[in-house]
Amino acid sequence: MKFVWRGKYKGPEDLSIGNLPEGATKYKEPKDMVMLNLYATFFLLPIMILIGIGIAIKFPDGLGEYNFLNGWGLIIGFFDYITS
């Protein structure tokens, strides 16, 4: 692989803007970070549910020392992920 030095990156204006060829399909991208987080959350929820099902199958009697406060930590962590 050969690298070509193109100068120092100073900001988004340094990136060249490419034009799409005719007949090309443009990607549907989120307009802002809120929509990006919303899409990521909808992708994350089924994965979290599958992980929870796997844990429930692996430990049918519970997680031992798991208590109410640990559950709140998981909930707070999830909402922190959504809002960041």
pLDDT band at 14 (very low <50, low <70, confident <90, very high): confident
Q: Which residue has the tokens 């900001």?
A: 11
What's residue 64's pLDDT?
Answer: 62
Q: What is the pLDDT of residues 18-72, one digit of tens each?
A: 788 888 888 888 889 999 888 888 889 999 889 888 877 877 776 666 555 566 7
Give the integer Cα–Cα distance in Å for 27 and 25. Answer: 6
Strands (E), 1-84: none
What's residue 62's pLDDT?
Answer: 66
What's residue 65's pLDDT?
Answer: 60
Contact of 45 with 38, CB cutoff 8 Å = no
Mean pLDDT within 10-23? 81
Tell me which residue of 70, 73, 84 sits closest to 37, measured CA to CA.
84
**Residue 78, C-beta contacts closer than 8 angstroms, at least 6 positions apart:** 48
Give the integer Cα–Cα distance in Å for 29 and 35. Answer: 9
Per domain, the residue ranges of the chain are: 34-84
